[in-house]
Amino acid sequence: MSKKLIITLAAVIGIITSLMIPATVSAEPTIIEVWPGQSIQDAVIAANPGDTILVHSGVYHQSVFIPKPGITLQGESGTILDGNYPADDDTFLGINAITLAGSGITVEGLTIKHYNKEEPGDPKPKMGTGIVLMVSSAECHIQNNHIKIGLIGITIGSQNNRIESNNIKGIDLGIGITPSASGNLVQDNTAFGCHTGIGIGGTNNQVKRNKVTGPTIEGIGLFLAATGNNVSENEVEGTTQNGIALTDGVNGNTLNGNYVSNSGHNGIMLLNAHNNHVMDNHVDNSGFNGIAVQDGAAGNVVTGNHITNSGIDAGGGIMLANAHGNLVADNHVTSSTDPGISIEGSGNQIQRNKVSRSNSDGIALFPTANNNLVEGNKVTGSGAGGIALHGNAQDGSSSNEVLDNHVRDSNLDGIVMIGAATANLIQNNKVSESDWSGIATRMGASGNTIQENHVIKSGEFDLFDDPPALNNVWQGNKYKTSNFP
């Protein structure tokens, strides 16, 4: 048999074989319509992956459970799921409005409310949620929904979902990302009047361009297992407590480019939070501090932030309290009631910040501040000292290095060591136009080294060593006036 004939027969056999195999025909996606008085759950049971369930305008007192993948649940203007009893005939009204257990589900265009009531005969309030994404769901899309008057708006317990352009009002927790949730995108949502706007407990989620406004207790909170999350370009306004808070030892998160204003307490708070980046945020009109790093917080980087009008009630621009090994650099702090930057803790680096018009000290190191570096900062127009190293009868800031700073127009001393402040190095600073002395030790500060500084145009003395002071070393400074030889 010739080679040509073999090839021809093979081709014919291939064609015949292909004709004998029936073609698989995929069902076309179907739109299943639901009208008031009908069961949405029945439509879910009838639906196949790829189908759309269109819920027409009306009020539905029922809950929906979607275990199938690829379903779209779509409302139209005026489609309302209402958790108030009684349930619609032949439907189930449970703790949540919508629960997703399948992947690739879309929920859009619905109004959801009142999933927070007590069940008949049960005195305990329901822990109701508008939309729940269970651990088994993934890659779902929740968009353009209105959720109000409940306990939780949206709970995310799974991976790689998109939660966007939802409007949430009057909820205890607007959007909750649980510890099991990762890789989710939460963007362009609005939360108004919630206890907490957005709560993050998972890993590697993106939370961006959301708007959280008061009356709200806390805007955005990161807690428990929150690691590697990016919180960026959000607008948080009018919270009664903190604008954005990182607590419970959260680690390795980034806050970037957020606008936080009119917070009752701190604009941004890191409480026992570690190795987080807080960068390029704008924080205005905080009741307490613009940014607070406290209660054991360590290894955080706070850089490039703009902070104005902090401490309306009491507080300053950036506060480090019992905080260690943090970097605070390249920030702009303006018009704080208390110090522009204050430090209690050790091993922190305060570098290249611009601090202006503080009503108190520009930069203050309090008695427990030891072994910190204050370098390359520009401090102007301080209401008290430009840079102040404080001490009291029992303790003082010690072993700190204050290097290469520019301090101008301080209402009291330019750089001052007070009381038990000891063993500090004050070197290569430029100090001018202080109302009192340019560089001073006061109330017995001793054992400090003040060298190679340039001090001019001081109101009293360029250099002032308080008479009770002991063992301070003054050498290599450029100045015109002093109270000692």
316-356 pLDDT per residue, tens: 999 999 999 999 999 999 999 999 999 999 999 999 999 99
- Global model pTM greater than 0.85: yes
With beta carbons less than 8 A apart as the criterion, state whether 129 and 155 touch.
yes
Which of 194, 205, 241, 198 lies closest to 221, judged by CA? 198
**Superfamily of chain region 29-194:** Single-stranded right-handed beta-helix, Pectin lyase-like (2.160.20.10)
Q: Is 260 helix (H, G, I), strand (E, B) or coil?
A: strand
* Torsion angle defined by CA atoms of residues 277, 283, 288 and 292, in that order, rounded to the nearest 10 degrees: 10
E strand or H helix that includes residue 12 = helix 3-20
The reported pLDDT for the residue numbered 2 is 37
CA distance 171 to 168: 7
E strand or H helix that includes residue 9 = helix 3-20
Q: pLDDT for 196-229, tens place per residue?
A: 999 999 999 999 999 999 888 999 999 988 999 9
CA distance 247 to 222: 6
The torsion angles phi and psi of 198, rounded to 5 degrees, stand at -135, 125
The reported pLDDT for the residue numbered 123 is 58
Residue found under tokens 């029936």: 22
CA distance 72 to 98: 12
Mean pLDDT computed over 60-77: 98
Which of 296, 294, 339 lies closest to 317, judged by CA? 339
Q: Where are the domains of the chain?
A: 29-194
